[in-house]
Structure 1
Amino acid sequence: MDIDYIKDKMLFHFGFNTFKGKQKEVITNILKNRNTFVLMPTGGGKSLCYQLPALLKEGTAIVISPLIALMKNQVDAMRGFNQNDSIAHFYNSSLTKAQASEVRRDVLAGKTKLLYVAPESLTRGSNIEFLKQVKISFYAIDEAHCISEWGHDFRPEYRNIRNIIEDIQQAPVIALTATATPKVQQDILKNLGMVDADVYKSSFNRSNLYYEVRPKSNPEKMLIRFINENKNKSGIIYCLSRKKVEQLAETLQVNGINAAPYHAGLEASKRSNTQDLFLKEEVKVIVATIAFGMGIDKPDVRFVIHYDMPKSLEAYYQETGRAGRDGGEGKCIALYSYKDIEKLERFMQGKPVAEQEIGAQLIEETMSYAESSICRRISLLNYFGEDYSQDNCGNCDNCLKPKEEFEGKDYLLTAMKVIKEVQQKYKIGHIANILSGVANATIKSFKHNELKTFGIGKEKDVKFWSMIIRRALIEKYLMKEIEQYGVLKITEAGENFIKNPKSFPVSENNIFDVEETSSTAQVSGGATDTELASMLMSLREQIAKKEDLPPYVIFQEPSIHDMATQYPVTIDELAKIQGVGTGKAKRYGKKFIELIAKHVEVNDIDRPQDMVLKTVANKSKHKIHIIKAIDSQKDLETIADAQGISMDELIKEMEAIVFSGTKLNIDYYLADVLDEEYQEELYDYFREADTDKIAVAYEEFEGDYSEEEIRLIRLQFYSENGI
């Protein structure tokens, strides 16, 4: 077929006759019956690469696609270009028997040019026998990265596609993906038995997309402000968990934002309706897990925000690629804290070692991207094996606001000295504590406060040393042991660094060690009054010393900073400060509100009461039942079962009860599940610790206690001391 004929047919079927990028080369290659591999970023026009050849060639093209919703979108789009609905069908488990029969009739009659199927459907013997009767023009494997274990969305069913194709009938194969590293590309070609395929790669550079990584501090507040600054623009916010999706969507809704949740746990009809509302602009913001977005044909998504860091850079690139597909504005913002990385690492524990090794590498690459001070575009393109010739892209945070760097060579050598002295058997937090001279319970139990290197870096705090170690992990001077995940080991490159030290630049304003706080309590839109915060911290220390308690038991630092932002001057206002509650406000609040009121009066401060973030009302239907059951000394497992909730959910309910000012005495339960000496050790830890954070305590005890045990002791500690 000559190119003019192809263009005429493209104009007839799709309404345009100009090709985009490498579309012309790909289409002509398929029409020559050649195996073809297409690597083209989102918005590059991959679908046309197989849709047009399918209309031009004799027979039916079998399009293998991973999602039912994606198939429906593609079929609806194809039917929109044709008068006859039989031109395209999907064939999957969502069809009734009558609908499935209709599809088979149309296909066997030669009316259907594109048949979309899921890989799972291909494994059924009846479907294989049906397809053996069909004249197949070619196989198109969409989202081909699902084949590779190194890909961000691996589907085991995809790895058997080659065998199934051979069982049905031979025909050319076209594999398409918007994202694949060189390693994934090779894996796809090898698995599909098409190493002879002609490969067509388009540039991964999306010049219209703006990339930024922000610290995950008061994230809900930041999101509401950002969305309000981008009114009437469509956007997607990605979260890792279904629960966070629903919580965040509800928070946005009560703050006047037209948002809806989307995750795989919702009914199919609900998901489909939400997707349609988004496409029709009746919903502006979708809060979703990764279940949303693959193949969504909406060209004018103006922002994609990652509330949680994704598991790999491939996933990040794929998801951000849904912004600005029309070539217009696309803001891609990731919220990052190192806790995200630790959370992803915990998800991997217990999985096969080979899977952990792959996961660890992918996570390290994500961390490197987030904490890097070089151009985001250079980082992303390099990850996909593409060079970016410019030093400054002019459209990312690192290029528009360059971070200053300092020489970290001596700091790294000092950290490595400590790692060697403890025989490479401890994790980041433990090493950072030794360096900073923090003699907590764990350090003392190992007698590491007696080491020669203890406090060798005490001029810097734990956060600083943790950052140095993370940078060393990124540069591959250190690694985390897989078998004992998290234990630091010095790599061969690290040993060479010790022998021949070289420059180790570190970003001056490393913003990712900030305290991660949630805006689930009311917070104002103003900046923290540092003078007032300092005065409140001093008052907190005075009261803590008098009460013989750690300062955080009085009020946590985020609460102090929130007070220094909102200026509460009554007990009721103080109770609404994040992490306070009525009980604590009444017990410790009098002196604090007096100090704040005096500061406000002396400095003639206008309090930002009109900047309060609305929060979802506490809907706990379990509170009264839990309090009564604990008063009756029932086992916590029994209480959880009776309320139809998990143990984790029960503890969260209990924490909400205690932190809002109601005592719960669980001594009777702790006596049954934890030896007295262990209780005392944990209790003493919370009495002496600088923070009550569970992650920090877990790190301190090197996993000797479960997070559940630590949370329960903290709960009892607060009940006895914090109310």
Structure 2
Amino acid sequence: MTLHSAIASTTPTFDSLEQALKHYFGYDRFRPGQRHIVETALRGQDLLVIMPTGGGKSLCYQLPALLKPGLMVVVSPLIALMQDQVETLNDNGIPATFLNSSLSNEHVQQRTAQLLRGEIKLLYVAPERLLNDRFLPFLDRLHDALGLVAIAIDEAHCVSEWGHDFRPEYRQLSQIRQRYPTVPLLALTATATQRVQQDIVVQLALRQPDVYVASFNRPNLYYEVRPKERNAYADLLREIRSHRHGSCIVYCFSRKLVDETADRLQQDGIVALPYHAGLSDRVRTENQTRFIRDDVQVMVATVAFGMGIDKPDVRLVVHYNLPRNLEGYYQEAGRAGRDGEPSRCLLFFNTGDVSKINYLIDQKPDEAEQMIARQQLRQVLDYAEGLECRRTIQLRYFGEDFSGNCQQCDNCLNPKPIEDRTVDAQKFLSCVARCKERFGMNYIIEVLRGSRSSKIQQRGHHKLSTYGIGSDRSAEDWKHLGRSLLHQGLLDETSDGYSVLRLNARSWEVMRGQRPVQMVATRSQRSSVADDSQAASTRELLMDLLRSLRKTIANEQSVPPYVIFADSSLRLMVQSRPTTLEEFASISGVGSHKLTQYGPRFTETIRQFCQEHGLLAQTVTPVVDEPTSKPPLSARRRQILNLHQQGIAPAQIALECDLRLGTIYDNLATLLEWGEVIDVDQLVDPERQQAILGAIAQVGDDALRTIRDQVGEDYDFNEIRIMRSVWRMQQLS
């Protein structure tokens, strides 16, 4: 295939798309999905592209613009986004420009002349200008003289009232399809639920679009939700100081809080600047430029900041207040780690923020908008209060399944006890069924707990067999169960603003006893007693001491502190207080290299702290007659192995060890590969083993999800983990 470009007076010829990619952008290969999208755009087909931040959406319309004659018009909602895109393109020698209110009349005239002469390949405009009565005739001239390659609509989620950033002016873009019926439309956004995707197609009148939805998973991002307590600012300051070699964004609820937080950080020696709509255009532009150029480490901002910013090395994004919806949170947090490097997303959660958001919702004049906003707020609360894997909750929101146990969020790295809740789940789901799948979670819980409210009496639901059968548990516990069922895909919820619970095929499997339900125990059900204030204070002292040690080592090596150990690893050290190298090796985040390099200093520090504060050191089961060819077993792994060899089921082992079920299977798989005696038939039904092994033989043993896609979704990731270890052992024999 021979491809041509029509930039200025030169017309480079390329033998492949990869050659064109290298020529214009310097990349040797496309990122996942990009080539398919570019090929579709070159065929002149409408497109809807959902690709997460950092996935390379912009290139998907920029390269086709360079390979076809004519002009690509890009609709972009923010001046900052346009400027950033155009500067990047110009720096690559690509003729692009923008027209917006920041330009003088003289500059507008210069650029319109360039456009008419065919010297520009990409034109960025805001939707308001595109639909302006004076601009449309000019666009007609460009269409007639040069031809339009396509019209790319960036941030396309703005067209949908179900999106997190709805803009009424985007609704009017359907006029473009009517005016230029033969010009392809390319809609692109980083975030869109299935409901929003459908709305985009309808509102923009896309014609049989090729829809490409990339995975929303950002494996390099660590997610954490932390209670916002009185010392939250000190917590924030520590986080920022621990990322002194990386840029940080702190999102705040209001302009006032932005200014106050930026001032406090400046007083504490942090180079920080504010960004919000109350500042002049000049100040906002100047502050943003200083941040992009690394003259400033921290930008404290409202959500007005960040859209379209391509800064790749943001290492920390903090939401100092509760976000208004999960989609917006995903996109804002996603501004961390665009370069694929490890980065942190921290959300401070205070229930006081809920009343503030509800107040703003009440100010909306449209009842339908209020209903949507309240549902979005409930979803945020589900995420903030959820005890399951953060990624599972996030990705399910976007309609994507995830197996959990990501080991890159606070819930996975600090696992809570697992318990069997099959019977309670059957009660809950049965109540949904008997209420004819017409009500939300709160109503179902009222029926289960035997509420005497008039609405239940009027509907006759006090006569149901499920009425009052859950009175022994609190409403909060039932709510936790209901959320867990949703997160695990064992229950559905409508997304039209009413949040009605609906059963699915898996729901009926649970009710028929064909599928067990295991979930994280709520705090009130855990056997451990809450620590008193003195114990909490001691933990904080040790955490500060370990942070100080980490900072010292980081300074010695001239690296950011998080390179040594993440805060999550330090917290595990505080919890378990390892004083030997064997115990230290069991901490998440401690590999063999770090064990050798940092283990002695950290364990010595912890040992001295324990002695000074009268704390008992952790005891370790001695390793006796361990073959030299096997790695030494930690106390935890030895406990798991012993329980398994006694014939105890993995779910019960998880309860005994206070670990997640997935963690138990991970350890058993590792022990199997280390040559320990593991009863595979006890873990995986013999009739299912060969199917999994056959799938691994076809697709390889690198990725569990790839194996799962090959063998089918009826197979559990845990049994696939075990059989992958079996397959690896077979390859060695």
Mapped to 1, the partners of 2:341 and 2:333 lie a distance apart of 14
In the TM superposition, 1:11-22 aligns within 5 A as 11-22=22-33
In structure 2, the residue corresponding to 1:211 is in which secondary structure? strand
1:327 matched to which residue of 2? 340
2:325 matched to which residue of 1? 312
The residue type paired with residue 101 of structure 1 is: Q
Q: 1:229 to 1:509 in 2, by over 3 A?
A: farther
> What is the CA-CA distance between 1:469 and the residue it aligns to?
5.3
Which residue among 120, 136, 151 is the counterpart of 1:139? 151
Q: 1:198 to 1:529 in 2, by over 3 A?
A: closer
In the TM superposition, 1:228-627 aligns within 5 A as 228-351=241-364, 352-388=366-402, 390-404=403-417, 416=447, 420-423=451-454, 507-509=521-523, 528=537
> What is the CA-CA distance between 1:23 and the residue it aligns to?
1.1
Mapped to 2, the partners of 1:241 and 1:500 lie a distance apart of 50
Q: 1:478 to 1:41 in 2, by over 3 A?
A: closer
> What is the CA-CA distance between 1:474 and the residue it aligns to?
8.0
2:139 equivalent to 1:128? no
In structure 1, the residue corresponding to 2:395 is in which secondary structure? helix
In structure 1, the residue corresponding to 2:259 is in which secondary structure? helix
Q: 1:359 to 1:142 in 2, by over 3 A?
A: same
Equivalent residues of 2:244, 2:297 under 8 A apart: no
In structure 2, the residue corresponding to 1:421 is in which secondary structure? coil
> What is the CA-CA distance between 1:78 and the residue it aligns to?
0.9
2:189 equivalent to 1:177? yes
Which residue among 89, 95, 109 is the counterpart of 2:97? 89
Mapped to 2, the partners of 1:510 and 1:277 lie a distance apart of 48
Q: 1:231 to 1:216 in 2, by over 3 A?
A: same
Q: Write out per-residue CA displacement over residues 607-657 of structure 1, whole angstroms, 9 at most, x where no aligned residue.
A: xxxxxxxxxxxxxxxxxxxxxxxxxxxxxxxxxxxxxxxxxxxxxxxxxxx
Mapped to 2, the partners of 1:503 and 1:78 lie a distance apart of 52
Mapped to 2, the partners of 1:282 and 1:213 lie a distance apart of 29
> What is the CA-CA distance between 1:229 and the residue it aligns to?
2.0
Equivalent residues of 2:388, 2:520 under 8 A apart: no
In structure 1, the residue corresponding to 2:300 is in which secondary structure? strand
Equivalent residues of 2:177, 2:205 under 8 A apart: no
> What is the CA-CA distance between 1:509 and the residue it aligns to?
3.1
The residue type paired with residue 235 of structure 1 is: C
2:113 equivalent to 1:71? no
2:48 equivalent to 1:37? yes
> What is the CA-CA distance between 1:59 and the residue it aligns to?
1.2
Q: Write out per-residue CA displacement over residues 311-359 of structure 1, whole angstroms, 9 at most, x where no aligned residue.
A: 2111111111111111111111111123323332222124322112211
> What is the CA-CA distance between 1:113 and the residue it aligns to?
0.6
1:4 matched to which residue of 2? 15
Equivalent residues of 1:367, 1:474 under 8 A apart: no
1:679 matched to which residue of 2? none
The residue type paired with residue 124 of structure 1 is: N
> What is the CA-CA distance between 1:165 and the residue it aligns to?
4.1
> What is the CA-CA distance between 1:507 and the residue it aligns to?
3.9
1:159 matched to which residue of 2? 171
Q: 1:285 to 1:355 in 2, by over 3 A?
A: same
The residue type paired with residue 50 of structure 1 is: Y
Mapped to 1, the partners of 2:448 and 2:60 lie a distance apart of 56
In structure 1, the residue corresponding to 2:134 is in which secondary structure? helix
Q: Write out per-residue CA displacement over residues 530-561 of structure 1, whole angstroms, 9 at most, x where no aligned residue.
A: 9xxxxxxxxxxxxxxxxxxxxxxxxxxxxxxx
Mapped to 2, the partners of 1:500 and 1:25 lie a distance apart of 44
Equivalent residues of 1:61, 1:138 under 8 A apart: yes
> What is the CA-CA distance between 1:21 and the residue it aligns to?
1.0
2:219 equivalent to 1:215? no
Q: Write out per-residue CA displacement over residues 572-630 of structure 1, whole angstroms, 9 at most, x where no aligned residue.
A: xxxxxxxxxxxxxxxxxxxxxxxxxxxxxxxx99xxxxxxxxxxxxxxxxxxxxxxxxx
Taking structure 1 as the reference length, the TM-score comes to 0.60
> What is the CA-CA distance between 1:404 and the residue it aligns to?
2.7
In structure 2, the residue corresponding to 1:260 is in which secondary structure? strand
Q: 1:242 to 1:347 in 2, by over 3 A?
A: same
The residue type paired with residue 423 of structure 1 is: S
> What is the CA-CA distance between 1:170 and the residue it aligns to?
3.5
Mapped to 2, the partners of 1:478 and 1:17 lie a distance apart of 43
The residue type paired with residue 228 of structure 1 is: R
Which residue among 102, 115, 118 is the counterpart of 1:107? 115
Mapped to 1, the partners of 2:16 and 2:69 lie a distance apart of 16
**Gap runs ≥5 in structure 2:** 4-13, 429-443, 457-467, 526-532, 540-611, 614-733
Equivalent residues of 1:364, 1:474 under 8 A apart: no
Q: Write out per-residue CA displacement over residues 367-421 of structure 1, whole angstroms, 9 at most, x where no aligned residue.
A: 1111112111122122111222x44111111111112356885999996577732
Equivalent residues of 1:238, 1:305 under 8 A apart: yes
Which residue among 62, 65, 69 is the counterpart of 1:54? 65
1:584 matched to which residue of 2? none
> What is the CA-CA distance between 1:166 and the residue it aligns to?
2.4
Q: Write out per-residue CA displacement over residues 481-503 of structure 1, whole angstroms, 9 at most, x where no aligned residue.
A: x99x9xxx99798xx9xx99997
Q: 1:473 to 1:12 in 2, by over 3 A?
A: closer
Mapped to 2, the partners of 1:289 and 1:98 lie a distance apart of 33
Mapped to 1, the partners of 2:302 and 2:73 lie a distance apart of 29
2:576 matched to which residue of 1? none
Equivalent residues of 1:62, 1:140 under 8 A apart: yes
Q: 1:328 to 1:414 in 2, by over 3 A?
A: closer
2:160 matched to which residue of 1? 148
Q: CA RMSD in A?
A: 4.0
Mapped to 1, the partners of 2:451 and 2:127 lie a distance apart of 50
In structure 1, the residue corresponding to 2:35 is in which secondary structure? helix
**Gap runs ≥5 in structure 1:** 426-452, 512-523, 531-603, 606-723
> What is the CA-CA distance between 1:223 and the residue it aligns to?
0.2
In structure 2, the residue corresponding to 1:420 is in which secondary structure? coil
In structure 2, the residue corresponding to 1:89 is in which secondary structure? strand
Mapped to 1, the partners of 2:376 and 2:300 lie a distance apart of 24
Q: Write out per-residue CA displacement over residues 52-111 of structure 1, whole angstroms, 9 at most, x where no aligned residue.
A: 1112211111000000110011111111111x7xx1111112211111111111111111
Mapped to 2, the partners of 1:23 and 1:414 lie a distance apart of 46
Mapped to 2, the partners of 1:307 and 1:364 lie a distance apart of 18
The residue type paired with residue 384 of structure 1 is: F
Mapped to 1, the partners of 2:299 and 2:134 lie a distance apart of 38
Taking structure 2 as the reference length, the TM-score comes to 0.59
Mapped to 1, the partners of 2:335 and 2:363 lie a distance apart of 33
In structure 1, the residue corresponding to 2:205 is in which secondary structure? coil
Q: 1:336 to 1:266 in 2, by over 3 A?
A: same
Taking only the aligned residue pairs, the percentage that are identical comes to 42
Mapped to 2, the partners of 1:6 and 1:404 lie a distance apart of 52
Equivalent residues of 1:375, 1:392 under 8 A apart: yes
Mapped to 2, the partners of 1:318 and 1:357 lie a distance apart of 22
Q: 1:175 to 1:414 in 2, by over 3 A?
A: closer
Q: 1:97 to 1:469 in 2, by over 3 A?
A: same
The residue type paired with residue 452 of structure 2 is: E
Q: 1:353 to 1:8 in 2, by over 3 A?
A: same
Q: 1:466 to 1:349 in 2, by over 3 A?
A: farther
